Amino acid sequence: MSTDRRADHVHDIPRHERSRGRRFRRVNAVVLTGLAVAAVGLGAANATQGPRLSSAEINTRAVVARAEQRLVLTANQPLAAVEPSQVRVSPSARVDDVSVDGATLTIRFADILDYDTDYTVSVTDVSGAFTTAAGSLEHGFSTPSVDVFTLLRDGGEAGGQDAPDRIFRNSPTGAESEEVFQAPRIQEYVVSESVLVAATRGENGAESLVLTALGDGVSATVPTPVGGPLYDLGLSEQLLGFRLGGEVDPRTSTRVAPLFVLDLTDPSGVPVQVLGLDGAPLAVRDYDFVPGSTALVAQAEDDQLYLLDPIAGTPPTPLGQHAELRGFVPGTTDLVVADPSSGSVIDLADGSVTPLDLPAADADPASTPGRLVVLGEDRYVQQYDRVDYALARKTISSELLLVDPSGTERIYRPTSETSRIRDFCVSPNGQLLAIEVVPLDGVLDGDDLLPAFTDMTTYFVDVSTGATTRSVSGFQPSWCH
């Protein structure tokens, strides 16, 4: 009876609805068959086509600040293994590791990349993990430019002017300069990506630390202890360092000044004094912040070096006695130190010390070697000065020599033979030099802590080519702090 009822029910369905159902089933079958054929076709196409780039990811700010940064390329299919020899970078940049994980290809750059440069990365003969077809992956990216700041004093009594001192933000390859801070008398300054801190002196001789936010230009005075000259500013990711006290002239002081550190993220705004192993204030001859961290290296009056982290509050780690701190190899935490007869590199990761065996410079024997900046384990830039008594007044001519195992190359000499280099330093990525040049007729501006000369100019020079990219008025380029 149940069968009869179903039959009766079928007969009850109108004929046009039964016809519509049959058409739907036929269309559905055609669609499913078409999809299956398309899937087979796509599979066959993928089997005969090499991998293609789907997306790319890179932190362009990090690649100009640190070595060992990565470019991540994602393909449209899982990839077979890729060798470093298959990777080409233009302009040239070393690649020290290539790895594949499914459809993701990771390329690691060995060195820091150049500022303001268009790079193209090409990977040739890339095969799919399940196919024999090969293709190429290519991605282009641009690195950002960099800001460098300079201080322009009004000339003081020597210049006969009554204008405020000013700090400018410059591009080493651009044409514009922007004033970001001014005060009646700026002793020195330091700057990070977000803040500028200047040591200023009032009419009554009182010294102040003024912090200015670079985003909105708002300034505030930083409370500091009282007790003598305030100088030797330093700035890391979040720490401000300064020395306070000592003799009136810290350059010739026999009494070493203590070091204070201010955590810019601490709402209390109270600087703390750096302490030694015995818990007493550490008299600091020199110091330098460890790049990318809250740690610092301090040199005590007995030349003993200590690795400290004022934020973590860990006990100081002795690093041995060395006569001079020479900063860090660009892009690393390898500290360069010097002694009267040798130089060394201290790896702060494990405390190991490696002798610095630098090639000798082929310099004029009549020239006197000066400041030396290490660019790598066997590469450096050094200043040489020559005194000339032929004119009515003594003149000093300067040049910078780039030295590596291939030889010695002069990369900069002031246009005027009577101008001299007062100081120079290298950009954080090792690409450019910032060079302070003093003209023959430059007059001291009368500052007793960090004197400068009138008409000083800062030049920016490409290390690899020796080309001068730009010059700006002023001195104390921010890379030198």
The reply to whether 19 and 61 lie within a common domain is: no
Find, among 178, 203, 188, 125, the residue nearest to 450 by Cα.
Answer: 188
Least confident of 162-176, 223-237, 242-256, 434-448: 242-256
What average pLDDT does range 411-429 have in this prediction? Answer: 93
Tell me the two tokens of residue 398.
């300067």
Q: What distance separates the 2 farthest-apart alpha carbons in the chain?
A: 132
pLDDT of residue 26: 57
Residue 377 confidence (pLDDT): 85
CB atoms within 10 A of CB 102: 11
- Same domain? For 22 and 93 the reply is no
Q: pLDDT tens across 389-404, in order? A: 776 667 888 999 999 9
6-10, 289-293, 329-333, 409-413: segment of lowest average pLDDT? 6-10
Residue indicated by tokens 């550490």: 282
Please give the DSSP secondary-structure letter assigned to residue 238: S
- Starting at the edge strand that comes first in sequence, how are the strands of the sheet with 70-75 ordered? 53-58, 70-75, 104-109, 95-101
Query: Picking from 83-92, 200-209, 301-310, 324-333, which range would have the lowest pLDDT averaged per residue?
Result: 200-209
Answer yes or no: do 42 and 22 share one domain: yes
pLDDT bin (cut points 50, 70, 90) of residue 6 is very low
Question: Is 451 inside a domain boundary?
Answer: no
Say how far apart CA 328 and CA 310 lie, in whole Å.
Answer: 20
Which tokens is 328 given?
Answer: 């860090």
Q: What is the mean pLDDT of residues 202-207?
A: 77
Residues 33 and 77 in one domain: no
Do 99 and 21 belong together in one domain? no
> Tell me, what's the pLDDT at 230?
85
User: Is 292 part of any domain?
Assistant: no
What's the gap between Cα 309 and its chain centre? Answer: 21
Within-domain flag for 8: yes
- Is there a domain that residue 106 lies in? yes
Residue 237's pLDDT band (boundaries 50, 70, 90)?
A: confident
Strand duo 395-404 + 407-412: pairing: antiparallel
Residues 110 and 42 grouped into a single domain: no
pLDDT at 24 over 60: no
pTM of the predicted structure, to 2 decimals: 0.83
How far is residue 237's CA from residue 216's CA, in Å, rounded to a whole number?
19
pLDDT higher for 248 or 294? Answer: 294
**Residue 417 belongs to some domain of the structure:** no
User: Whose CA is closest to 187, among 222, 157, 153?
Assistant: 153
Q: Decide if 470 is inside a domain.
A: no
pLDDT at 40 over 50: no
CA 122/CA 210 separation, integer angstroms:
48
What CATH number is attached to the domain comprising 58? Answer: 2.60.40.1220
**Mean pLDDT of the residues in the chain:** 86
| Domain boundary, last residue among 142, 176, 203 | 142
Same domain, 57 and 118: yes
In a domain, 393, yes or no: no
In a domain, 14, yes or no: yes
User: Are 74 and 112 within one domain?
Assistant: yes
Q: What separation in angstroms does the CA of 412 have from each of 206, 362, 367, 397, 400?
A: 40, 15, 15, 12, 5
**Domain count along the chain:** 2
Q: Are residues 19 and 77 in the same domain?
A: no
Supply the DSSP symbol for 478. Answer: G
Which residue range(s) make up the domain with 117?
A: 53-142
**Of 115, 142, 169, which residue is a domain's last?**
142
* Rg value, the chain, Cα: 32
Q: How far apart are the first and last CA of the chain?
A: 100
**Is a pLDDT exceeding 60 seen at residue 1?**
no
58/32 same-domain check: no
Q: Are residues 95 and 73 in the same domain?
A: yes
Q: What is the pLDDT of residue 176?
A: 84
What would the mean pLDDT of 187-207 be, rounded to a whole number? 88
Q: Mark which of 120, 142, 164 sits at the end of a domain.
A: 142
